Structure 1
Amino acid sequence: MPAPTHPRPHPATSGRVDIRLPWWALALPLLAFVTLLLLILNPADAQAATGDPAITQLVERVQQLMAR
């Protein structure tokens, strides 16, 4: 015996999808990105800051460009 089906209470009238995200769904990835970027851009604070000179020069160049 088939069960009766119920229609949706609010059928979609437009062709686009309406998705709402909570505020933290955007804030948390942004916070993680900024934190990692700051760790990369400030290698002097790292305990073992020895590395390839090319990487150090690249990081210094990025710092100079962001300081402008």
Structure 2
Amino acid sequence: MTARTHPRPHPAPRGGSGIRLPWWALALPTLAFVTLLLLVLNPSESHATSGEPAIAHLVERAQQLLAR
């Protein structure tokens, strides 16, 4: 006894999946990669902030907002 096969409701696209990505889906990761690569290759260009750490500033700001 043979089993029936169900036909596809849509014909399959010939050139691949047929899904197109927006331009930024490739541009943003590429830009991030290039930026990080440049920072690794030339660390003297990166500027570290001096003074209190950002986490301490963030906690202080959160306490001010909660005190209102």
TM-score (norm 2): 0.45
- Structure showing greater radius of gyration is 2
TM-score (norm 1): 0.45
